[in-house]
Chain A
């Protein structure tokens, strides 16, 4: 042992410093402990447990029974509602999400003008997004009523087609997307903040170079906004994959499963059918699908997201 210093022998150099840093570390950990314990108990453990339960038949009352990948096999090969709900959810992602993104950007652009009383307009457009979803849903049940709803009355006055909305499988998802626009104010606020950050010098320079309004938007504003668009896209993606409340409150998945979304099917399997293991497996598949989509978006984002100072 000669010649080797004891591992706990303080280093001859700056002896007090290391001890102090360890003490500080412990203090830091102690302060962070409420969060760490909360994270481990309420997040990490349930996540790991759900991975295990996804390999079990588990009704939440009796002990889980290990069945390997049976839940996954059933889901992929025998559950027609799994595919139907996945399709419905993808529909909301592919059709609903872009509509929402464009609408909130459009509103933000309109509300970025220098007009008198603009703060009032901004407040008005933002308000719906802080109304509780359940309340909005019930309100829209009335607006979307095929015979008495304001929307169809207005369409009728204009001699336009009056869809059955939530009573018609072909229109139910479109109705929900339309309703989603009501909450576009949430994304709008973020775009507005980003629009304030677009340097006027750039648009001015572009104008001096002869760029029209559209070109200015296309080549200056949009690139400057792209990081925020990416943020809204990712958050929207995650939100759309978890689409639940509106369908739960308004349609319970009908008519004819046209609004049976993934999260709703998962909920039914877990809390109506006692199939916690199956529902856990569904949750993991949803997680993987969301993850892959988010990664794809990130992968492509290098091509269209511009971060100032990146020198491109």
Chain B
């Protein structure tokens, strides 16, 4: 894919304007000069005591307790680096992430941000608004593939260049209720390893009442985007960048999901599921023993600990079919980037470099209950004390960990994959036709995006 730096960013997308900033900037240039002329006498006394620290504005996507955990690390960085003052601002939630887009459009970006989802990284990188980090990494003696887990490293490269670093990542696996396994006649210490065993366990654990309504169900698979990899599929050809929605592996995964729609009344299952709270409340179906197996991640531990401390539970990686990929997991989450328009790149890099080193990463991840994307950080005792985290850290190092593929349209693509899955699971749609249609539409969407980037 051809890659070029962007035109100077345009001003004021909020107003729907397309006013070029150059002339405006030329005029505004006098503003700081005038300000300095006016304020110089005031500041003279301070200048004598040495240069003021360089300010690095950092937008974080974390909030509440997670923000505080990060703030402690930022404070530590500021203490260790008297020449740099990092100021962290929380841009939380969807509106925060949308603000990033508007900031890029207006050329008014901070110096560092982690308010970018991995899903969006390729899109921003290809639009030329992110600083490539290869040179910085090299000068700091770092190596992406050596320092980071394989899935994360792959996700951070766009067209061969590194555009961001991660301080956290997640894993995907299945948690199971050992008591239900035992009651259903399954060995609680031998969870399923193949798709056939998973299906059988799901059937064995499902119970109905006299009216045919669910009393408990075994498993409701979801997330075609990830299961496709389990079945040997892929969404984008990593070598050519071509869309491969109709890959035989994707189709096999979708057919398998559809088999659940045939075996169970998924609408009824959904209604039954909605009786309970979400997976993050005390009333979540897994916590109250209404589902035997739960697609989840390492965060499950703190919820089980909080809501169902007496639950007898275990976990296992996503089972795979013959010829599929074992130990599949997903990578993703927030990515730290330096915008191309950043004026203070060296200082910004110093902070980014420091924050993504093993020690701060280990402290941040253990503080907020995430898995570290930095290989060395995984050895930290904080993760080795918990059996679940030992398992999750191992899983995150799997070669079969997949982050968002490097296409600029991934947010759209991912949403459309979800729609296809829903159509099959709840609407009885035809997997072959739906994937062929997805292939056609996404190929065109990507062509459009690439044509825009090439101009």
Contacts and interface: CB of A to CB of B under 8 A. Distances in A.
A64 B105 CA distance: 12
Contacts of A64: 18
Taking residues whose C-beta sits less than 8 angstroms from the other chain, chain B's interface range is 35 or more
A53 B105 CA distance: 15
B99 to A, nearest CB: 11
A274 B127 CA distance: 11
A167 B9 contact: no
Nearest to B422: A256
B16 A50 contact: yes
B105 A61 contact: yes
B15 A41 contact: yes
A124 interface: no
A63 B422 contact: no
Contacts of A256: 422-423, 426-427
Contact of A147 (B9, B274, B448): B274
Nearest to B411: A272
A257 B426 CA distance: 11
B16 A46 contact: yes
26 contacts: A42-B15, A45-B15, A53-B16, A57-B452, A59-B127, A60-B13, A60-B101, A61-B9, A61-B127, A62-B128, A62-B455, A63-B7, A147-B271, A147-B272, A147-B275, A164-B271, A167-B267, A167-B271, A254-B422, A255-B422, A255-B426, A256-B427, A268-B415, A271-B98, A274-B101, A274-B449
A16 B455 CA distance: 61
A272 B274 contact: no
Given A61-B9, A62-B127, A256-B426, A164 B453 contact: no
A222 to B, nearest CB: 43
Interface string A241-260: 00000000000001111000
Nearest to A152: B271
Interface residues of A, number: 35
B129 A167 contact: no
B395 interface: no
Nearest to A147: B275
A169 B409 CA distance: 28
A65 interface: yes
Contacts of B15: 41-42, 45-46
Query: A-side binding surface: helix, strand, loop or mixed?
Result: loop
B10 interface: yes
B412 interface: yes
Given A45-B15, A147-B275, A271-B98, A61 B104 contact: yes
A145 B274 contact: yes
A146 interface: yes
Interface of B: 6-7, 9-10, 13, 15-18, 98, 101-102, 104-105, 123, 127-129, 267, 270-272, 274-275, 409, 411-412, 415, 419, 422-423, 426-427, 441, 445, 448-449, 451-453, 455
Interface in A226-269: 254-257, 268
B274 A273 contact: no
A59 B445 CA distance: 13
B10 A63 contact: yes
Interface string A19-52: 0000000000000000000000110011101100
A53 B301 CA distance: 49
A50 to B, nearest CB: 6
A122 B9 CA distance: 54
B265 to A, nearest CB: 12
Given A273-B412, A274-B123, A65 B452 contact: yes
Nearest to A168: B267
B452 A62 contact: yes
A302 interface: no
A158 interface: no
Contact of B18 (A49, A78, A168): A49
Given A46-B16, A255-B422, A60 B271 contact: no
Contacts of B7: 62-63
Contacts of A272: 411-412, 415
Contacts of B10: 61, 63
A159 to B, nearest CB: 14
A273 B411 contact: yes
Nearest to B423: A256
